[in-house]
Structures are given as structure tokens and as C-alpha cells.
């Protein structure tokens, strides 16, 4: 795929995700479920915070004539996401344990849409940590 098309695809996906979350949040707002906006709002902020600088840097790199993604950054993303996958399974098991525990105690209970949103936020945070760790260690072989 051409570099320009890759940037357009990344931009289109970001716009789609942001539009979905905005639509979701506005539906909740219209129904007066203000507390439930916190989670989609959190995801929206994370997406905007990470994706805008990411796409901006890629556009500048391509304009300067650099490749969209070099071999090393590809390997870092692959290793970071593989690590994040293992950690995500543990995160989801912890959420499952918490959901069960909260039903039997006085801790705040989760509803299914909270679980999905907490899952996404946790997975995104784990990927960010894993990416930072893998970049810092520098060993991708």
C-alpha cells in the first residue's frame, strides 16, 4: 500500500472511532445518563491524545521522504502488541473476578457496557506501557 493511502486509512479509522464515541456519548447524554459518559469520554481522550500526534508525525515523515514505517518500528509494534495481548487476557480475567466479587460485596458493580469500555481502556493502557517498555529495552529480535 502507498504511504499516502496508509495515512488516509489511519486517519479514516481515527475519524470513525472518534465519531462512534461522540455519537455514543451524545446518545447517553440525551438519555440523561451523565455518569456513563465517563468511560467513552476517557477512551475518546486517549484516542485523540495518541492518534493526532501519531498521524501528524507520519505525515511529516512521508513529506520529508522517509518511509511510512521502517522495519524496526514494525518489529517494536509487533512485539509490544503481542506482549499487550498476554497482559490483556490477565486484565480481562481480573475484570471477570472483580465483576463476580462486586456482586457479592458492597463494591461498585459493573454493567456489561462498563466492562467492554474498561476492557478497551485497560488494553490501550497496557499497549502504551508495553510499547514504552519495548522501545526503552530496544531488543526486538
Helices 112-137 and 71-104 sit at what angle, rounded to 10 degrees? 140
Q: Which of 44, 127, 131, 134 binds other proteins (CB under 8 A)?
A: 127
- Judging by beta carbons within 10 Å of its beta carbon (0-12, 13-18, 19+), is residue 15 exposed, middle or buried? exposed
Site string for other proteins, 25-64 (x = CB under 8 A): --xx--x--------x------------------------
* Euclidean distance between the first and the last CA atom of the chain, given in angstroms as a whole number: 25
SS3 of residue 7 by DSSP: helix
Query: Does 123 engage in binding with other proteins (CB under 8 A)?
Result: yes
Residues 64-93 that bind other proteins (CB under 8 A): 77-79, 81-86, 88-89, 92-93
Report the sign of the C-alpha dihedral through residues 92, 77, 12, 60, in that order.
positive
Residue from 9, 12, 29, 111 in contact with other proteins (CB under 8 A): 111
Per-residue binder mask for other proteins (CB under 8 A), 8-27, x = binder: ---------x--x--xx--x
Amino acid at each position: 500500500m502507498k504511504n499516502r493511502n496508509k495515512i488516509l486509512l489511519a486517519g479514516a479509522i481515527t475519524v470513525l472511532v472518534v465519531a462512534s464515541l461522540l455519537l455514543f456519548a451524545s446518545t447517553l447524554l440525551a438519555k440523561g445518563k451523565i455518569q456513563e459518559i465517563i468511560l467513552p469520554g476517557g477512551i475518546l481522550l486517549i484516542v485523540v491524545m495518541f492518534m493526532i500526534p501519531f498521524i501528524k508525525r507520519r505525515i511529516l515523515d512521508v513529506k520529508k521522504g522517509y518511509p511510512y514505517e521502517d522495519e524496526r518500528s514494525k518489529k517494536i509494534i509487533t512485539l509490544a502488541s503481542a506482549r499487550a495481548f498476554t497482559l490483556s487476557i490477565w486484565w480481562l480475567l481480573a475484570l471477570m473476578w472483580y465483576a463476580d466479587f462486586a456482586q457479592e460485596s458492597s463494591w461498585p458493580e459493573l454493567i456489561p457496557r462498563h466492562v467492554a469500555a474498561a476492557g478497551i481502556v485497560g488494553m490501550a493502557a497496557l499497549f502504551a506501557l508495553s510499547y514504552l517498555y519495548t522501545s526503552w529495552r530496544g531488543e526486538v529480535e
